[in-house]
Amino acid sequence: MTHRIDSATLRELTRVSADEMQRIALYPGSFDPLTNGHVNIIERGLSLCDELVVAIVHNPNKAPMFSVEERMQILREVFPDEQRVRLTTFSGLLVNYAREIQANAILRGLRAVADFEYESQMANMNRRLAPEVETVFLMAEPGSFFVSSRLVKEVALLGGDISGSVPPQALARLTAKVKQLQGKGA
């Protein structure tokens, strides 16, 4: 025997009050390596949502310094007790992943005008593809305004001090990785 439910009854059964709805934000990135700027965006992002999904983008077209597993481990070490941070990986279209995890918002950090131009293009395309998912921009703190993962790797490979730019867990792994890479070149 099949039971039919009319649309009004279905809406009533599935209605969720605003107080019960969980706010999920998605913070995607390569995090190769995780910088203090990333950590700051994650910490500030937590004040805006109930759960923050930090998703490492798996892009086979790039040659990262750290494997996805190594980047995930660094994130676990930096946020070991934060229950509202969920660590994942994904590939493909960002808005499809946002829908899959039922994210209400995509969190992005901005450092400079160049970031804004690129990020606003991406946000507008994402809005066109998934109007139900908002993009939220957080300005980088002044101490991290100039820091990027690419720059951190470059400075580390050239023997510069990056200790103020990355969390200690990332610094230890980055130092070991640079030694490993320099050993292969010797």
Show the CA angle centred on residue 70, arms to residues 54 and 145, nearest 5°. 55
Q: What are phi and psi for residue 166, nearest 5 degrees?
A: -135, 155
Query: pLDDT at position 5, please?
Result: 60
Give the domain CATH number at 143: 3.40.50.620
* Rounded CA separation 79/83 (Å): 9
The catalytic residue among 71, 149, 153, 165 is 149
User: Whole domain around residue 58: which residue ranges?
Assistant: 21-185
Query: pLDDT at position 39, please?
Result: 97
User: Does some domain include residue 36?
Assistant: yes
User: Does some domain include residue 180?
Assistant: yes
The catalytic residue among 3, 4, 15, 62 is 62
Query: pLDDT at position 143, please?
Result: 83
User: Does some domain include residue 68?
Assistant: yes
User: Does some domain include residue 14?
Assistant: no
Catalytic-residue membership of 62: yes
Query: pLDDT at position 15, please?
Result: 56
User: Does some domain include residue 1?
Assistant: no
In DSSP terms, which residues pair with 172 in a beta bridge? none
Catalytic-residue membership of 153: no
User: Does some domain include residue 82?
Assistant: yes
Helix H, strand E, coil C: the string for the chain is: CCCCCCHHHHHHHHCCCCCCCCCEEEEEECCCCCCHHHHHHHHHHHHHCCEEEEEEECCCCCCCCCCHHHHHHHHHHHCCCCCCEEEEEECCCHHHHHHHCCCCEEEEEECCHHHHHHHHHHHHHHHHHCCCCEEEEEECCHHHCCCCHHHHHHHHHCCCCCCCCCCHHHHHHHHHHHHHHHHHHC
The catalytic residue among 44, 86, 111, 127 is 111
Query: pLDDT at position 69, please?
Result: 95
User: Does some domain include residue 6?
Assistant: no
User: Does some domain include residue 77?
Assistant: yes
Mean pLDDT per segment of 10 residues, for the chain of length 186 residues?
56 55 94 96 97 92 90 97 96 96 97 87 96 96 88 95 95 94 73
Domain count, the chain: 1
* Rounded CA separation 177/116 (Å): 31
